[in-house]
A = this chain, B = another copy of it.
Amino acid sequence: MKVTINDIAKAANVAKSTVSKVLNDAPSISEATKAKVRAVMREMNYEPSSLATRLAKQKGYNVGLVIDLSRKSDFLNASFYDIIGGVESVIGPLDYELTIGNIEHVGRERFVSRFVLGRKVDGLIMDNSILTPELARELNELNFPYISIGEIPGVAPLCWVDINNRRGAAMLASHLFTRGYRNPAFIGGERGDPMFEARVAGFRDALAAVESARDRANKPGFKPRERAAAAGALREEEIKAAARQKEKAAEAGPFMASGTVLPGYANEANGRRLVRELLALPSVPDAIICMSNLVAFGALEELREQGVSIPDEMGVATFDNRPLAPFTTPPLTCLDMDTFALGAAAGEMLMAQINGLETAPSGRRRWVEPELVVRRSTEKKAT
Protein backbone atom coordinates (compact mmCIF):
# COMPACT_ATOMS: atom_id res chain seq x y z
CA MET A 1 0.00 0.00 0.00
CA LYS A 2 2.19 2.81 1.27
CA VAL A 3 5.74 2.91 0.06
CA THR A 4 8.55 3.12 2.59
CA ILE A 5 12.27 3.68 2.57
CA ASN A 6 12.81 -0.07 2.31
CA ASP A 7 10.82 -0.31 -0.88
CA ILE A 8 12.91 2.43 -2.39
CA ALA A 9 16.12 0.77 -1.27
CA LYS A 10 15.10 -2.51 -2.80
CA ALA A 11 13.90 -0.98 -6.04
CA ALA A 12 17.01 1.13 -6.41
CA ASN A 13 19.34 -1.64 -5.37
CA VAL A 14 20.98 0.29 -2.59
CA ALA A 15 20.98 0.12 1.17
CA LYS A 16 18.26 1.94 3.01
CA SER A 17 20.89 4.02 4.74
CA THR A 18 21.89 5.25 1.34
CA VAL A 19 18.34 6.21 0.58
CA SER A 20 18.20 8.08 3.84
CA LYS A 21 21.30 9.98 2.90
CA VAL A 22 19.83 10.88 -0.44
CA LEU A 23 16.79 12.12 1.41
CA ASN A 24 18.95 14.44 3.41
CA ASP A 25 21.16 15.31 0.48
CA ALA A 26 24.29 14.08 2.21
CA PRO A 27 27.47 15.24 0.47
CA SER A 28 29.01 11.79 0.78
CA ILE A 29 26.68 10.33 -1.83
CA SER A 30 27.66 10.51 -5.47
CA GLU A 31 25.52 12.52 -7.80
CA ALA A 32 24.99 9.39 -9.86
CA THR A 33 23.34 7.38 -7.12
CA LYS A 34 21.48 10.41 -5.91
CA ALA A 35 19.94 10.79 -9.31
CA LYS A 36 19.16 7.11 -9.54
CA VAL A 37 17.54 6.94 -6.14
CA ARG A 38 15.59 10.12 -6.69
CA ALA A 39 14.25 8.78 -9.92
CA VAL A 40 12.97 5.70 -8.14
CA MET A 41 11.42 7.80 -5.41
CA ARG A 42 9.60 9.90 -7.92
CA GLU A 43 8.46 6.89 -9.84
CA MET A 44 7.09 5.17 -6.80
CA ASN A 45 5.57 8.32 -5.48
CA TYR A 46 7.50 8.07 -2.29
CA GLU A 47 7.10 10.44 0.59
CA PRO A 48 8.99 9.87 3.85
CA SER A 49 6.92 9.37 6.95
CA SER A 50 7.21 12.48 8.99
CA LEU A 51 6.47 10.49 12.11
CA ALA A 52 9.39 8.15 11.63
CA THR A 53 11.69 10.98 10.69
CA ARG A 54 10.79 12.97 13.71
CA LEU A 55 11.18 10.01 16.02
CA ALA A 56 14.58 9.16 14.62
CA LYS A 57 15.74 12.75 14.60
CA GLN A 58 14.37 13.30 18.06
CA LYS A 59 12.85 16.53 16.97
CA GLY A 60 9.19 17.29 16.55
CA TYR A 61 9.27 20.02 13.93
CA ASN A 62 6.13 21.19 15.50
CA VAL A 63 5.11 24.19 17.51
CA GLY A 64 1.99 24.38 19.60
CA LEU A 65 -0.36 27.32 19.70
CA VAL A 66 -2.35 26.94 22.87
CA ILE A 67 -5.65 28.66 23.19
CA ASP A 68 -8.50 28.63 25.62
CA LEU A 69 -11.56 28.09 23.52
CA SER A 70 -13.84 28.47 26.50
CA ARG A 71 -12.86 32.08 26.86
CA LYS A 72 -13.99 34.35 24.12
CA SER A 73 -11.69 37.29 24.00
CA ASP A 74 -12.94 39.80 21.48
CA PHE A 75 -9.45 40.62 20.50
CA LEU A 76 -8.21 37.08 19.98
CA ASN A 77 -11.39 36.08 18.29
CA ALA A 78 -11.16 38.72 15.64
CA SER A 79 -7.47 38.45 14.97
CA PHE A 80 -6.93 34.76 15.38
CA TYR A 81 -6.74 34.08 11.68
CA ASP A 82 -4.12 36.78 11.29
CA ILE A 83 -2.07 35.61 14.22
CA ILE A 84 -2.04 32.08 12.88
CA GLY A 85 -1.11 33.44 9.52
CA GLY A 86 1.78 35.32 11.00
CA VAL A 87 3.10 32.35 12.92
CA GLU A 88 2.73 30.10 9.93
CA SER A 89 4.48 32.53 7.64
CA VAL A 90 7.69 32.10 9.59
CA ILE A 91 7.56 28.51 10.76
CA GLY A 92 6.07 27.03 7.59
CA PRO A 93 9.04 27.75 5.36
CA LEU A 94 11.24 26.21 8.04
CA ASP A 95 9.20 23.03 7.74
CA TYR A 96 7.61 23.33 11.09
CA GLU A 97 4.01 22.51 11.71
CA LEU A 98 1.52 24.36 13.81
CA THR A 99 -0.74 22.39 16.06
CA ILE A 100 -3.56 23.99 17.91
CA GLY A 101 -4.05 22.90 21.47
CA ASN A 102 -7.16 23.67 23.42
CA ILE A 103 -6.37 23.98 27.06
CA GLU A 104 -10.01 23.47 27.88
CA HIS A 105 -9.88 19.77 27.19
CA VAL A 106 -6.36 19.10 28.25
CA GLY A 107 -6.69 20.76 31.60
CA ARG A 108 -4.28 23.23 33.03
CA GLU A 109 -2.29 20.74 35.09
CA ARG A 110 -1.93 17.88 32.68
CA PHE A 111 -1.16 20.37 30.02
CA VAL A 112 2.57 20.62 30.51
CA SER A 113 3.03 16.90 30.68
CA ARG A 114 1.04 16.24 27.57
CA PHE A 115 2.60 18.79 25.36
CA VAL A 116 6.02 19.26 26.77
CA LEU A 117 7.05 15.97 28.28
CA GLY A 118 5.12 14.07 25.63
CA ARG A 119 7.35 15.87 23.15
CA LYS A 120 4.48 16.71 20.93
CA VAL A 121 5.92 20.08 20.24
CA ASP A 122 9.30 21.75 20.35
CA GLY A 123 7.92 25.04 21.50
CA LEU A 124 4.80 26.76 22.68
CA ILE A 125 3.02 29.98 21.88
CA MET A 126 0.17 31.12 24.08
CA ASP A 127 -1.49 34.27 25.25
CA ASN A 128 -1.01 35.76 28.64
CA SER A 129 -4.35 34.58 29.95
CA ILE A 130 -3.08 31.03 29.66
CA LEU A 131 0.52 31.51 30.56
CA THR A 132 0.27 31.98 34.30
CA PRO A 133 3.39 32.84 36.27
CA GLU A 134 3.41 29.30 37.68
CA LEU A 135 3.30 27.77 34.23
CA ALA A 136 6.07 30.09 33.13
CA ARG A 137 8.19 29.00 36.04
CA GLU A 138 7.57 25.36 35.25
CA LEU A 139 8.55 25.81 31.62
CA ASN A 140 11.60 27.74 32.64
CA GLU A 141 12.70 24.90 34.87
CA LEU A 142 12.30 22.44 32.04
CA ASN A 143 14.18 24.85 29.86
CA PHE A 144 11.40 24.56 27.32
CA PRO A 145 11.01 27.21 24.61
CA TYR A 146 7.86 29.28 24.75
CA ILE A 147 6.55 32.70 23.84
CA SER A 148 3.74 34.68 25.35
CA ILE A 149 1.48 36.80 23.22
CA GLY A 150 0.87 39.71 25.50
CA GLU A 151 3.31 40.90 28.09
CA ILE A 152 3.53 39.42 31.54
CA PRO A 153 5.17 41.81 33.88
CA GLY A 154 7.12 40.25 36.71
CA VAL A 155 8.15 36.84 35.52
CA ALA A 156 11.82 37.17 34.93
CA PRO A 157 13.25 35.16 32.04
CA LEU A 158 10.22 35.35 29.86
CA CYS A 159 9.90 35.96 26.14
CA TRP A 160 6.93 37.81 24.89
CA VAL A 161 5.61 39.75 21.98
CA ASP A 162 2.99 42.38 22.35
CA ILE A 163 1.37 45.33 20.75
CA ASN A 164 2.95 48.47 22.14
CA ASN A 165 -0.14 49.47 24.03
CA ARG A 166 1.55 52.17 26.02
CA ARG A 167 2.84 53.97 22.99
CA GLY A 168 -0.48 53.40 21.29
CA ALA A 169 -2.41 55.13 24.02
CA ALA A 170 0.03 57.99 23.96
CA MET A 171 -0.39 58.29 20.19
CA LEU A 172 -4.12 58.43 20.54
CA ALA A 173 -4.07 61.06 23.27
CA SER A 174 -1.45 63.07 21.50
CA HIS A 175 -3.52 62.99 18.33
CA LEU A 176 -6.44 64.41 20.27
CA PHE A 177 -4.34 67.26 21.58
CA THR A 178 -3.08 67.99 18.10
CA ARG A 179 -6.63 68.22 16.93
CA GLY A 180 -7.38 70.79 19.57
CA TYR A 181 -9.08 68.69 22.18
CA ARG A 182 -7.97 69.69 25.61
CA ASN A 183 -9.41 67.34 28.16
CA PRO A 184 -9.47 63.70 27.06
CA ALA A 185 -10.75 60.85 29.21
CA PHE A 186 -10.10 57.14 29.00
CA ILE A 187 -12.94 54.64 29.41
CA GLY A 188 -13.21 50.87 29.59
CA GLY A 189 -10.84 48.11 30.62
CA GLU A 190 -10.17 46.45 33.90
CA ARG A 191 -7.70 47.26 36.60
CA GLY A 192 -5.03 44.62 36.82
CA ASP A 193 -5.27 43.66 33.19
CA PRO A 194 -1.76 44.35 31.84
CA MET A 195 -3.22 45.68 28.61
CA PHE A 196 -5.38 48.15 30.45
CA GLU A 197 -2.57 49.27 32.70
CA ALA A 198 -0.23 49.76 29.78
CA ARG A 199 -2.75 51.86 27.94
CA VAL A 200 -3.53 54.00 30.93
CA ALA A 201 0.18 54.52 31.41
CA GLY A 202 0.50 55.69 27.83
CA PHE A 203 -2.45 57.99 28.29
CA ARG A 204 -0.72 59.54 31.27
CA ASP A 205 2.54 59.82 29.33
CA ALA A 206 0.84 62.03 26.82
CA LEU A 207 -0.87 64.12 29.49
CA ALA A 208 2.41 64.61 31.25
CA ALA A 209 4.12 65.67 28.06
CA VAL A 210 1.48 68.24 27.32
CA GLU A 211 1.34 69.55 30.84
CA SER A 212 5.03 69.88 30.95
CA ALA A 213 4.91 71.80 27.70
CA ARG A 214 2.36 74.17 29.18
CA ASP A 215 4.18 74.68 32.44
CA ARG A 216 7.30 75.71 30.67
CA ALA A 217 5.53 77.71 28.03
CA ASN A 218 6.86 81.08 29.09
CA LYS A 219 10.03 80.16 30.82
CA PRO A 220 13.28 80.92 29.07
CA GLY A 221 15.36 78.14 27.63
CA PHE A 222 12.37 75.86 27.22
CA LYS A 223 13.19 72.67 25.37
CA PRO A 224 9.98 70.81 24.66
CA ARG A 225 11.76 67.88 23.10
CA GLU A 226 13.83 66.90 26.07
CA ARG A 227 10.99 67.53 28.45
CA ALA A 228 8.50 65.45 26.59
CA ALA A 229 10.94 62.70 25.95
CA ALA A 230 11.66 62.53 29.62
CA ALA A 231 8.01 62.22 30.49
CA GLY A 232 7.44 59.08 28.49
CA ALA A 233 8.28 57.20 25.35
CA LEU A 234 7.04 59.80 22.90
CA ARG A 235 7.80 60.21 19.26
CA GLU A 236 8.84 63.31 17.48
CA GLU A 237 5.40 64.03 16.07
CA GLU A 238 3.93 63.77 19.48
CA ILE A 239 6.47 66.11 20.89
CA LYS A 240 5.70 68.60 18.17
CA ALA A 241 2.08 68.21 19.05
CA ALA A 242 2.92 69.06 22.61
CA ALA A 243 4.78 72.14 21.52
CA ARG A 244 1.86 73.25 19.41
CA GLN A 245 -0.43 72.56 22.29
CA LYS A 246 1.67 74.91 24.33
CA GLU A 247 0.82 77.74 21.98
CA LYS A 248 -2.82 76.80 21.92
CA ALA A 249 -2.86 76.85 25.67
CA ALA A 250 -1.63 80.40 25.66
CA GLU A 251 -4.45 81.50 23.39
CA ALA A 252 -7.24 79.39 24.72
CA GLY A 253 -6.77 79.89 28.39
CA PRO A 254 -5.65 77.45 31.04
CA PHE A 255 -5.10 73.90 30.03
CA MET A 256 -7.33 71.60 32.00
CA ALA A 257 -6.76 67.96 31.21
CA SER A 258 -7.93 66.13 34.28
CA GLY A 259 -6.92 62.78 32.84
CA THR A 260 -10.07 61.04 33.92
CA VAL A 261 -9.88 57.24 33.68
CA LEU A 262 -13.06 55.22 34.11
CA PRO A 263 -12.49 51.47 34.09
CA GLY A 264 -15.17 48.91 33.32
CA TYR A 265 -15.50 45.61 31.52
CA ALA A 266 -15.11 46.41 27.86
CA ASN A 267 -18.55 46.03 26.37
CA GLU A 268 -21.21 48.19 24.79
CA ALA A 269 -23.33 48.63 27.91
CA ASN A 270 -20.35 49.94 29.85
CA GLY A 271 -19.47 52.23 27.00
CA ARG A 272 -22.87 53.87 27.43
CA ARG A 273 -22.72 53.92 31.19
CA LEU A 274 -19.26 55.39 31.37
CA VAL A 275 -20.18 58.14 28.94
CA ARG A 276 -23.08 59.08 31.18
CA GLU A 277 -20.66 59.26 34.08
CA LEU A 278 -18.32 61.38 32.03
CA LEU A 279 -21.07 63.82 31.14
CA ALA A 280 -21.97 64.19 34.80
CA LEU A 281 -18.46 65.19 35.76
CA PRO A 282 -17.83 68.72 37.07
CA SER A 283 -15.36 69.27 34.28
CA VAL A 284 -16.77 67.38 31.33
CA PRO A 285 -14.08 65.98 29.01
CA ASP A 286 -14.08 67.02 25.38
CA ALA A 287 -12.68 63.76 24.04
CA ILE A 288 -12.80 60.06 24.84
CA ILE A 289 -10.36 57.25 24.28
CA CYS A 290 -12.08 53.87 24.36
CA MET A 291 -10.61 50.55 25.39
CA SER A 292 -12.28 48.65 22.58
CA ASN A 293 -14.60 48.86 19.62
CA LEU A 294 -17.54 47.74 21.69
CA VAL A 295 -16.95 50.38 24.31
CA ALA A 296 -16.60 52.95 21.57
CA PHE A 297 -19.81 51.83 19.95
CA GLY A 298 -21.69 52.16 23.21
CA ALA A 299 -20.15 55.56 23.74
CA LEU A 300 -21.16 56.73 20.29
CA GLU A 301 -24.74 55.60 20.84
CA GLU A 302 -25.02 57.29 24.17
CA LEU A 303 -23.53 60.53 22.92
CA ARG A 304 -25.94 60.57 20.02
CA GLU A 305 -28.87 60.04 22.33
CA GLN A 306 -27.68 62.75 24.64
CA GLY A 307 -27.40 65.08 21.71
CA VAL A 308 -23.67 65.56 22.03
CA SER A 309 -22.21 66.22 18.60
CA ILE A 310 -19.24 64.19 17.43
CA PRO A 311 -16.55 65.28 16.70
CA ASP A 312 -17.23 68.92 17.53
CA GLU A 313 -18.36 68.77 21.10
CA MET A 314 -16.73 65.44 21.81
CA GLY A 315 -13.94 63.62 20.03
CA VAL A 316 -13.94 59.83 20.16
CA ALA A 317 -11.01 57.53 19.45
CA THR A 318 -10.57 53.86 20.15
CA PHE A 319 -8.23 50.94 20.19
CA ASP A 320 -8.52 48.43 17.36
CA ASN A 321 -9.66 48.97 13.84
CA ARG A 322 -11.70 45.83 13.76
CA PRO A 323 -14.40 44.96 13.59
CA LEU A 324 -16.35 48.20 13.81
CA ALA A 325 -14.20 51.29 13.63
CA PRO A 326 -14.55 51.98 9.89
CA PHE A 327 -18.29 51.41 9.98
CA THR A 328 -19.65 53.50 12.81
CA THR A 329 -21.28 56.90 12.44
CA PRO A 330 -19.11 58.79 12.37
CA PRO A 331 -16.26 56.41 11.52
CA LEU A 332 -13.87 56.07 14.41
CA THR A 333 -10.34 57.30 14.64
CA CYS A 334 -8.46 54.30 15.94
CA LEU A 335 -5.27 52.44 16.47
CA ASP A 336 -4.81 49.62 14.00
CA MET A 337 -2.94 46.63 15.34
CA ASP A 338 -0.93 44.52 12.96
CA THR A 339 -1.84 41.14 14.35
CA PHE A 340 -0.18 39.30 11.51
CA ALA A 341 3.08 40.93 12.50
CA LEU A 342 2.37 39.96 16.07
CA GLY A 343 2.07 36.31 15.09
CA ALA A 344 5.14 36.51 12.91
CA ALA A 345 7.16 38.06 15.73
CA ALA A 346 6.06 35.28 18.05
CA GLY A 347 7.06 32.70 15.46
CA GLU A 348 10.45 34.26 14.93
CA MET A 349 11.29 34.48 18.58
CA LEU A 350 10.22 30.92 19.15
CA MET A 351 12.28 29.63 16.27
CA ALA A 352 15.28 31.51 17.59
CA GLN A 353 14.82 29.87 20.96
CA ILE A 354 14.29 26.42 19.57
CA ASN A 355 17.32 26.61 17.41
CA GLY A 356 19.34 27.77 20.33
CA LEU A 357 20.19 31.15 18.93
CA GLU A 358 20.86 32.63 22.29
CA THR A 359 18.64 35.64 22.54
CA ALA A 360 20.20 38.60 24.21
CA PRO A 361 18.09 39.98 27.06
CA SER A 362 17.02 42.82 24.80
CA GLY A 363 15.77 40.36 22.23
CA ARG A 364 13.52 38.70 24.72
CA ARG A 365 10.59 40.97 24.06
CA ARG A 366 9.27 42.45 20.90
CA TRP A 367 6.86 45.30 20.48
CA VAL A 368 4.69 45.59 17.44
CA GLU A 369 3.93 49.23 16.84
CA PRO A 370 0.32 50.21 16.29
CA GLU A 371 -0.70 52.58 13.56
CA LEU A 372 -2.93 55.59 13.95
CA VAL A 373 -5.88 55.70 11.58
CA VAL A 374 -7.56 59.09 11.58
CA ARG A 375 -11.25 59.25 10.79
CA ARG A 376 -14.12 61.65 11.25
CA SER A 377 -14.75 60.97 14.92
CA THR A 378 -11.90 63.28 15.87
CA GLU A 379 -12.12 65.86 13.12
CA LYS A 380 -12.77 68.82 15.34
CA LYS A 381 -13.27 72.02 13.49
CA ALA A 382 -10.28 74.28 13.92
CA THR A 383 -10.88 76.54 16.91
Chain A contact residues, CB within 8 Å of chain B: 2, 45-52, 54-55, 60, 62, 69, 76-78, 80-81, 84-85, 88-89, 92-93, 97-102, 104-106, 113-114, 117-120, 297, 322-324, 327-329
**Contact yes or no, A88 B69, CB < 8 A:** yes
Q: For the complex, what is the distance from the CA of A54 to the CA of B324, rounded to whole Å?
A: 45
Q: For the complex, what is the distance from the CA of A328 to the CA of B300, rounded to whole Å?
A: 12
**Contact yes or no, A98 B100, CB < 8 A:** yes
Q: For the complex, what is the distance from the CA of A329 to the CA of B300, rounded to whole Å?
A: 12
**Contact yes or no, B50 A52, CB < 8 A:** no
**Contact yes or no, A49 B119, CB < 8 A:** yes
Residue of B nearest to A114 (CB): B47
**Contact yes or no, A84 B113, CB < 8 A:** no
A367: shortest Cβ distance to chain B, in Å?
24
**Contact yes or no, B100 A84, CB < 8 A:** yes
**Contact yes or no, A76 B81, CB < 8 A:** yes
**Contact yes or no, B120 A105, CB < 8 A:** no
Q: For the complex, what is the distance from the CA of A98 to the CA of B97, rounded to whole Å?
A: 10
- Copies assembled: 2
Q: For the complex, what is the distance from the CA of A49 to the CA of B118, rounded to whole Å?
A: 5
A303: shortest Cβ distance to chain B, in Å?
14
11 A-B pairs (CB sep. < 8 Å): A49-B118, A52-B55, A69-B81, A69-B88, A78-B78, A92-B102, A93-B105, A98-B99, A98-B100, A322-B323, A329-B329
In the A-B complex, list the 6 residue pairs whose CB atoms are closest, starting with the nearest. A323-B323, A47-B117, A92-B105, A80-B81, A69-B85, A99-B99
**Contact yes or no, A51 B119, CB < 8 A:** yes
**Contact yes or no, A51 B45, CB < 8 A:** no
| Most B-side CB within 10 Å, residue of A49, A52, A322 | A49
**Contact yes or no, A45 B100, CB < 8 A:** no
**Contact yes or no, B105 A88, CB < 8 A:** yes
Q: For the complex, what is the distance from the CA of A106 to the CA of B47, rounded to whole Å?
A: 14
Q: For the complex, what is the distance from the CA of A47 to the CA of B117, rounded to whole Å?
A: 6
**Contact yes or no, B69 A89, CB < 8 A:** yes
Q: For the complex, what is the distance from the CA of A47 to the CA of B47, rounded to whole Å?
A: 29
Q: A89-B69, A324-B323 are in contact. Are A113 and B45 (CB under 8 A)?
A: yes
CB-CB < 8 A to A51: which residues of B?
Answer: 51, 54-55, 60, 119-120
Q: For the complex, what is the distance from the CA of A357 to the CA of B328, rounded to whole Å?
A: 50
Q: For the complex, what is the distance from the CA of A111 to the CA of B85, rounded to whole Å?
A: 18
CB-CB < 8 A to A45: which residues of B?
Answer: 113, 117
Q: For the complex, what is the distance from the CA of A120 to the CA of B47, rounded to whole Å?
A: 11
CB-CB < 8 A to A52: which residues of B?
Answer: 55
A264: shortest Cβ distance to chain B, in Å?
19
Q: For the complex, what is the distance from the CA of A88 to the CA of B103, rounded to whole Å?
A: 11
CB-CB < 8 A to A69: which residues of B?
Answer: 81, 84-85, 88-89
CB-CB < 8 A to A106: which residues of B?
Answer: 92
CB-CB < 8 A to A60: which residues of B?
Answer: 51
Q: For the complex, what is the distance from the CA of A89 to the CA of B106, rounded to whole Å?
A: 11
**Contact yes or no, A323 B78, CB < 8 A:** yes
A55: shortest Cβ distance to chain B, in Å?
5
| Most B-side CB within 10 Å, residue of A51, A105, A113, A297 | A51
Q: For the complex, what is the distance from the CA of A52 to the CA of B106, rounded to whole Å?
A: 20
| Most B-side CB within 10 Å, residue of A48, A81, A93 | A81
A139: shortest Cβ distance to chain B, in Å?
14
A300: shortest Cβ distance to chain B, in Å?
9
CB-CB < 8 A to A327: which residues of B?
Answer: 297, 324, 327-328
